[in-house]
Structure 1
Amino acid sequence: MDFTAPNAQALTFDRKNHSDDTLLALYESLLIPRRIEEKMLILLRQGRISKWFSGWGQEAISIGAVNALEADEFILPMHRNLGIFTGRGIPLERLFAQFQGKKSGFTKGRDRSFHFGSMAHHIVGMISHLGPQLAIADGIALADKLSGEKKVTLVFSGDGASSEGDFHEGLNVAAVWKLPVIFVVEHNGYGLSTPSEEQFAFRHFTEKGPGYGMESIRIQGNNVLEVYDAILSLAKDIRENPRPILVEAITFRMRGHEEASGTKYVPKPLMEEWAKLDPVENYELYLEEIGVLDEKTKNSVNSKVKQAINEALEIAFAEEAIAANLDKELRDVYAPFSQKTIEPTGPSTEKRFVDAISDGLRQSMERFPNLVLMGQDIGEYGGVFKITDGFKDRFGADRVRNTPLCESAIIGAALGLSLKGYKAMVEMQFADFVTMGFNQIVNNLAKIHYRWGQPADVVIRMPTGAGTAAGPFHSQSNEAWFFHTPGLKIVYPSNPADAKGLLNAALEDPNPYLYFEHKLLYRSITGPVPDSYYTVEVGKAALVQEGTQASIITYGMGVHWAKKAVEEMDISVDILDLRTLLPWDQEAVAETVRKTGKVIFLQEDTLTGGIGAEICAWISEHCFQYLDAPVMRVGSLDTPVPFAPNLERQFLPEARFREKLRELVEY
């Protein structure tokens, strides 16, 4: 259908073999979101709600889809899919409380509109950043495929969101892994006010499917029976023959992107032509013409729907405004988890840092049959650092998965796996490459429990650090990027024993972790590592050396620089290895400050805005009375990491640290 001249002919409905009851059930289901829309527009004008994203004119897509799937199959909706929520029977009073930011809403006032999920209703809500939903759908479908469930996952995208890289990544991964996902693109002609011809250079999304190696079909999105039959047929087929299919639903949005933006950018003739294809009015007329819907039934259904809406609104409006509870807000950032540290048993073996990580990962795979590893080249090749060497033969290709080069989709898929009860580990080839998956980490993994109570059981391994002359894109220390993000946990071991114990601990915890492992330590240091499975306490620093003259607070490679400097300078200092960066051990920091009165923070990361800045500020605020000298910091130069060895040595803080340490001790 051409959006500049839509086919204004009446929609052609075909009941096929559907019973009257089915047709009427679809009618009532279609009527609910439309009547809610009408009510919300009145409430908006009255100032009783603050914002509304309208799906007026697109309701048939949601209603056809939600009724075609089984109740326990996941759907991932977008802005215009009110019908998904009503079609799954979500209590209207909770839905309206959600819109008003009330406590009984699904996000308890922490997010708005459709930015929520409900596991009970098998719905995973969106975030404002368009596109990440597709990868989460991939993960849910992967979980179904791994567990042998014959299920379909359906995910929505708008035509505007298809310009995002996440759209490409989501489709590509699904095609490569033959995942049972139905990708529904609601092609309504506009991304906010930007018309399709300014979004992409093709006419129909059915042209894109073959490029990904997947089937694609185009349907009239305003025809509820056509949508219902198409999804019903596709879902039945995909359950038996898992694969992704791209569905383009042609439709039109009759109101603004959100109500305040209006529709002045839409040519009036275009709006008038599409108004003739109204999905509710046309279906209603069809049912009347074939004698399924009479005036009495129509009035009865309308009355029932309006009454349900009004009663639910009264309940939602009557609920008091949510009261702020500081303890609860802070507590809900993370999924509840009380770590029970597992002590090692039996002998220890001298192991390299890299082997300790591999050992921990292997034992965690044995301990958790639901743990899936994903990353580029981690299969036959064993990963670029050989940490998963032999894992594919031992645990199988389903659990040790080579991935396409698409960090965002793989992190999103990891979250999807978590939603279905799996644990997931994602390996970044280099920590630098995590930028390609940044949105999924800071906006999905980190926020999902706070927003609607769902844990993200995902660990992302981050080979990090300089010293190998690898240049600015393979050497960055980027832990501070994530240190600022509530909802994440960050660990950074400095020795083989902690490397294994902290990795095991991270994989046990249902919260999202970033696990930093310094590349230069992989094969340069060894240490005794217990052969048995064990965990190290998360959030607990380690005093690796004791002294009296000063305190060095550091982590990762900084521990080794500190030990070497102290030995060569022949001074007596505390060396505190943080080990966990988020949450960090305030008690241990305060204790060493009280003991020595002189503190220096050493980090490999660039100096400005690093983790040391936060901890030094905390010391100045909370431990000022114990200080006998200014709190000092040393870090790398505020430049990108250079390639040439001489430049890299100048960049790194090791030499400057010794000078600063001497200054502190002699202060």
Structure 2
Amino acid sequence: MDFQRRDLRNEQLLHLYRHLLWPRMIEEKMLVLLRQGRISKWFSGIGQEAISVGATQALRPDEWIMPLHRNLGVFTGRNMPLSRLFKQWQGSGDGYSAGRERSFHFGAREHHICGMISHLGPQLAIADGVALAHKLRKEDKVSLAFTGDGGTSEGDFHEALNTAAVWDLPVIFIIENNGYGLSTPVREQYRCAQLADRAKGYGMEAVTIDGNNILEVYDTIRGVRDYCIREQKPFLVECMTFRMRGHEEASGTKYVPPALFEEWAAKDPIANYEQWLKAEGILTDSAIEEIRDGYRRTIESELAIGFASEPIIVSTAREVKDVFAPRELAPLSPGEGSGVRSGVRLIDAIKEGMQQSMEWHPNLVLMGQDIAEYGGAFKITEGFVEQFGKERVRNTPLCESAIVGAALGLSLEGFKSMMEMQFADFVTVGFNQIVNNLAKIHYRWGQNADVVIRMPTGGGVGAGPFHSQSNEAWFTHVPGLKVVYPSSPEDAKGLLIAAFNDPNPVLFFEHKALYRSISGPVPEGYYETPIGKARTVRTGDDLSIITYGAGVHWAEEYAAAHPEISIEILDLRTLQPLDYDAIRGAVTATGKVLVLHEDTLTGGLGGEIAAWIAEHCFTLLDAPVLRCASLDTPVPFNMELEKNFLAKARLGETIGKLLAY
């Protein structure tokens, strides 16, 4: 192994040695505790320490790192106390995630480490967002994300690298190529000679290095960091290494040829570096033993603290409360003297809400396909580039997952962001980032995701199965997401402003058929419609219709056409969290309830609302709760077929059944 000290002083070389040895000795102790049954699980990075340690030491302490399972050297390199790390690994209440996460699935804002999720690709795009924040602020900083050879097969790898290249982001991507993705060898993962070769396809520079050589890793990442800042471009580094243990200890290593262990044991990053330091007269055997003894004592004392953790105190109220970041500011009203414009279309109200939010929040960034000069598929952002510039109104490549991840990365650096899904149907491509990263991050380690995703949704326009779906119910099932669905121009503007002011991820559904077909009064000022509060559209005595979106207008049309029936209409406006007080009020008003929505019947939100009413308001009912929803089929293209598909086609029939009880 060829070690080149270059400009490093003896003190720096010893500093790297200490940081290299520390995670190895921790791991060796963890393996002993695992065999003793005193810990439950361990993902070992033995043999790969030089990559984590070298990369972390080459960065500034305030530059974000997105690590994975085998990157203990990142956590120790950021000087996280072993006692608290151990509490984290044990699931203690005073660990970094309050017992809510396992092993290395946690982050810490104060250490600029972003916690991983089990899906290995999404970390890369978060690094894009952090790097974008640095670029917008004109800061000389980078972000760094790790992936393994197996992770490069994920679509997120392609999306993140492509976005970083297209946007010229100062981000470093590190591949730890250790030969195996769990048990799958690299020959079954890719066919290129080196994974670094993939960078050429993105117009990105790359290098393959010896990942077991601490000085080569450290010097490379130092140089790459300088390049990324100077050129404002990304860089891919492939580190060749080997995993000397199983993917995790329970999986074993029987699938690995014994000769590989012998080959890579001779390339051990610590033993080789020690020998070189001794040969250079920088380190002696006695000094090595002194350092190791000191570490042993520290490990034992820190573990004593870790094992002394009090049993976790379970609090349901705290668990539920911590799903969302608190909203500290009171909702904004239009203000005295604020005028009201009449005849404002829904689409114009949304545009105005976004425009005023961009003025109110200079750190708000809009992202989406074709939203810049073209103005978006529905022309909502037309003119925004001229007003706010291309840095804040950003066209994106066609890679929904990477852009959702980038939005989260922006949030790590204190930015607000909005991503426009061109159609709500396309959210499936970014589903993992939304339900596993955005939704869970505050509960997992206290980091908020200040992200709004706009979702043009719904049918009635003859757009067929892939541009007409109502998929809001998918997300109401996911704790940590707020789901908003306005039906009027006034609420569309007020709820969108509230969504931008909320520190949590908000999915904002906009019905395409309502964009230009409905209009109404809208206050001119900057105001909020509170998230989580329903609106009584009209009062009645005979039956109550609980609905949202286009369903509100279907219900109003029916009520206007049947003045002989006294109908109460409740517009939910927010689907997560639901306004249960308002739902109870609608039940109390009439005793007969119909839940109406455009989404398909099975698994739709109507089932949840009906179940809640049956459980909590049974004595108030004079009839079973009925649901009126669209057919359990894909959305057909032919307009006559679509009319039959939509819930509106069965509204009168369902109301008749309810009144007959």
- For the pair 1:135 / 2:128, whether they are aligned, the reply is no
- Which moved further from structure 2: 11-20 or 458-467? 11-20
The Cα offsets for residues 376-408 of structure 1, whole Å up to 9 and x where unpaired, read as 000000000001000011000000000000000
Residue 605 of structure 1 aligns to a residue whose secondary structure is: strand
Which position in structure 1 is the counterpart of 2:409? 416
Which position in structure 2 is the counterpart of 1:19? 9
**Match 1:305 to one of 295, 308, 320:** 295
- For the pair 1:663 / 2:653, whether they are aligned, the reply is no
CA distance in 1, matches of 2:566, 2:331: 31
Which position in structure 1 is the counterpart of 2:466? 473
**Match 1:347 to one of 334, 339, 350:** 339
- For the pair 1:507 / 2:500, whether they are aligned, the reply is yes
**Mapping 1:350-389, distance limit 5 Å:** 350-389=343-382
**Mapping 1:202-601, distance limit 5 Å:** 202-338=192-328, 340-345=330-335, 346-349=338-341, 350-570=343-563, 571-601=565-595
CA distance in 1, matches of 2:332, 2:49: 53
**Match 2:56 to one of 66, 80, 84:** 66
Which position in structure 2 is the counterpart of 1:645? 639
Runs (4+) of structure 1 moved beyond 2 Å? Answer: none
Instruction: Indicate if the aligned counterparts of 1:353 and 1:521 stay in contact, CA closer than 8 A.
Output: yes
- Which moved further from structure 2: 178-187 or 334-343? 334-343
Residue 263 of structure 1 aligns to a residue whose secondary structure is: coil
TM-score normalised per structure 1 = 0.98
Which position in structure 1 is the counterpart of 2:602? 608
Instruction: Indicate if the aligned counterparts of 1:339 and 1:509 stay in contact, CA closer than 8 A.
Output: no
Instruction: Indicate if the aligned counterparts of 2:534 and 2:574 stay in contact, CA closer than 8 A.
Output: yes
Instruction: Indicate if the aligned counterparts of 2:400 and 2:429 stay in contact, CA closer than 8 A.
Output: yes
The Cα offsets for residues 545-578 of structure 1, whole Å up to 9 and x where unpaired, read as 1110000000000000001111112211100000
CA distance in 2, matches of 1:321, 1:175: 48
Percentage identity across paired residues of the two chains: 62
Residue 159 of structure 2 aligns to a residue whose secondary structure is: helix
**Match 2:625 to one of 614, 627, 631:** 631
- For the pair 1:184 / 2:184, whether they are aligned, the reply is no
How far apart are residue 203 of structure 1 and its match? Answer: 2.1
The Cα offsets for residues 284-340 of structure 1, whole Å up to 9 and x where unpaired, read as 111111111012211121112122211111101111221211111010000011452
TM-score normalised per structure 2 = 0.99
Which position in structure 2 is the counterpart of 1:4? none
CA distance in 2, matches of 1:339, 1:574: 33
How far apart are residue 506 of structure 1 and its match? Answer: 0.5
**Match 2:85 to one of 78, 89, 95:** 95
Q: Which amino acid aligns with 2:651?
A: F
Q: Which amino acid aligns with 1:664?
A: L
**Match 1:50 to one of 40, 59, 66:** 40
Q: Which amino acid aligns with 1:447?
A: K
Which position in structure 2 is the counterpart of 1:6? none
CA distance in 2, matches of 1:316, 1:272: 35
**Mapping 1:158-197, distance limit 5 Å:** 158-197=148-187
- Which moved further from structure 2: 336-345 or 437-446? 336-345
Instruction: Indicate if the aligned counterparts of 1:339 and 1:537 stay in contact, CA closer than 8 A.
Output: no
Residue 404 of structure 1 aligns to a residue whose secondary structure is: coil
Instruction: Indicate if the aligned counterparts of 1:159 and 1:185 stay in contact, CA closer than 8 A.
Output: yes
Residue 67 of structure 1 aligns to a residue whose secondary structure is: helix
The Cα offsets for residues 82-118 of structure 1, whole Å up to 9 and x where unpaired, read as 0000011011111010000011211110010111111
CA distance in 2, matches of 1:22, 1:57: 22
Residue 186 of structure 1 aligns to a residue whose secondary structure is: strand
CA distance in 1, matches of 2:69, 2:436: 17
Aligned pairs, number: 657
**Over the residues paired in the alignment, what is the CA RMSD in angstroms?**
0.8
Residue 597 of structure 2 aligns to a residue whose secondary structure is: strand
Which position in structure 2 is the counterpart of 1:619? 613
CA separation of 1:516 and 1:461: change in aligned 2, threshold 3 A: same
Residue 590 of structure 1 aligns to a residue whose secondary structure is: helix
- Which moved further from structure 2: 63-72 or 356-365? 63-72
Q: Which amino acid aligns with 1:298?
A: I
The Cα offsets for residues 505-557 of structure 1, whole Å up to 9 and x where unpaired, read as 00000000000000000000110111111100111110001110000000000
Structure 1, unmatched stretches of 5+, are: 1-10
CA distance in 2, matches of 1:433, 1:581: 20
CA distance in 2, matches of 1:464, 1:106: 39
Q: Which amino acid aligns with 2:340?
A: S
**Match 2:73 to one of 74, 83, 86:** 83
CA distance in 2, matches of 1:126, 1:320: 26
Instruction: Indicate if the aligned counterparts of 2:540 and 2:589 stay in contact, CA closer than 8 A.
Output: no
Structure 2, unmatched stretches of 5+, are: none
How far apart are residue 182 of structure 1 and its match? Answer: 0.7
CA distance in 2, matches of 1:108, 1:266: 37
